[in-house]
Amino acid sequence: MFIYKAQKLLREKKITPSILLKESIEKIEEWKRLGAFITTNIDQVLELAAKQDKILESEYDNLPTLFGIPLALKDNIYTKNLQTTAGSLFWKDFVPTQDAQVVTKLKNSGALLVGKTNMHEIALGVTSNNPHYGPCLNPHDNSRVAGGSSGGSAIAVATGMALGALGTDTGGSIRIPASLCGVVGFKSSYGTVSTRGIIPLSWHLDHVGPIANCVEDVKIIFNIIAGYDSKDPFSVKNSNKKSKSIEKNQIRIAKAVGNFINEADANVLKVFDNAVKMLRESDLSAEEENVDWLRELSISNRTITQVEAATFHKERLATHPDWFGEDVRERLLQGSNASGIDYATARYNQTVGKYRFKEFFKKYDVLLLPTVPVIAPPIAGRDAVEMAKVLTKFTAPFNLTGLPAITIPCGKVNSLPIGLQIVGKYMQDQALLSIAHILEDILERKNKRLVN
């Protein structure tokens, strides 16, 4: 079920919030083995859905946007009176006394928040193979990772446990699991969505954003949660501006090529090339652009992430290092041992990267590249630290530069989903979503099996 279709059915009184919620609860039970949730909120939302049913009986013209829509939240997002763990032992008994700003907005919009999703511990990783709360299993192949760090949110959407979900993204943590689970994930421009009430990983790179089954649904959620927050020092004013509508034949597309991109798995590149071919067959032009310079940005993103994470977790690492999983502890120690020169160099590369993209997007509207360079890796016998370097390779540059980026399904390899990443201009989020909608429509019409 798509959110936009559920909205229509609710307003036509062909369905009720309780019916939607019942379907969600049934899916949560059916797919429990995938490890998508740490905490559920079923009793509370059942009560809320019953109240919404009565409201629907008498009123349907002025319903809030997400009225009756079951959504899930990554477990590093504060939820008042509901456990929030960040996938960590340090917060296992933490119950916030207030909601994150994004949660307040979702509640005000009428959403039914069914629970808190599993994730990679403290969001520092890409497998969501959590040593404390269990692994997240890929719904397409349970022996493989779901991606991370927002693995549970992507699973919840892919299996129908929720019609949409929120994740966080510091190096690709929304887009990677969305790609590997075959759904849509959107990281907006840095500062467009408040991070107040989010347990941080890296202050200069953290983003909050939606995962859903189509671009339209992602846009619906984004329009609710976006906007300036005067109480968030990292929020940007006038960030959710409306963009001029863009016609299909006006879209200027750059296709990423070069040695950096060619490091992707051959089968992934084949799917990527085929997707671009489909777009060209639909009268879109896509010029090839060498993006080897993204490599340095990806490395710099990792440096900043680890240094800032080590700063935030300094006392916890000193007092209870054994409470961290092995891979997370290793990365925090790497951040602790990085020099001031390492961090300053990474921040310099961040500034240069932003400038280069400002020049790049004078010529283009969007950049296309694979979301993840490999298919979903097996859970067993993998080095999570090295896996993070591989899986974030194509996503991390856009956290560093703060550019909006979205992943949409574009094909499969051995029944495993492959995502197409579409990157847009800074603070042109609405334009990017419009273009992504056009490209999604073309790919779905060209290849019907991509329809969720």
- Catalytic positions are 74, 149, 173
HEC sequence for the chain: CCHHHHHHHHHCCCCCHHHHHHHHHHHHHHCHHHCCEEEECHHHHHHHHHHHHHHHHHCCCCCCCCCCCEEEEECCECECCECCCCCCHHHCCCCCCCCCHHHHHHHHCCCEEEEEECCCHHHCCCCCEECCCEECEECCEEEEECCCCCHHHHHHHHHCCCCEEEEEECCCCCHHHHHHHCCEEEECCCCCECCCCECCCCCCCCEEEEEECCHHHHHHHHHHHECCCCCCCCCCCCCCCCCCCCCHHHCCEEEEECHHHHCCCHHHHHHHHHHHHHHHHCCCCEEEEECCCHHHHHHHHHHHHHHHHHHHCHHHHHHCHHHCCHHHHHHHHHHHHCCHHHHHHHHHHHHHHHHHHHHHCCCCCEEEEECCCCCCCECCCCCHHHHHHHHCCCCHHHHHCCCCEEEEEEEEECCEEEEEEEECCCCCHHHHHHHHHHHHHHHHHHCHHHCC
Count of CB atoms within 10 A of residue 5's CB? 15
β-bridge mates for residue 37, sequence order: 117
β-strand 112-117 against 70-74: which pairing, if any? parallel
What residues contact residue 378 under an 8 Å CB cut-off, 6+ apart? Answer: 143, 144, 145
Give the phi and the psi of residue 149 in degrees, each rounded to 5: -90, -5
- Residue whose pair of structure tokens reads 């997240």 in the numeric block: 136
Distances (CA, A) of 118 to 121, 155, 293: 9, 9, 34
CA angle 148, 211, 301 (to 5 degrees): 45
> Hey, what are 434's tokens?
């419009």
User: Are the CB atoms for 292 and 383 separated by under 8 Å?
Assistant: no
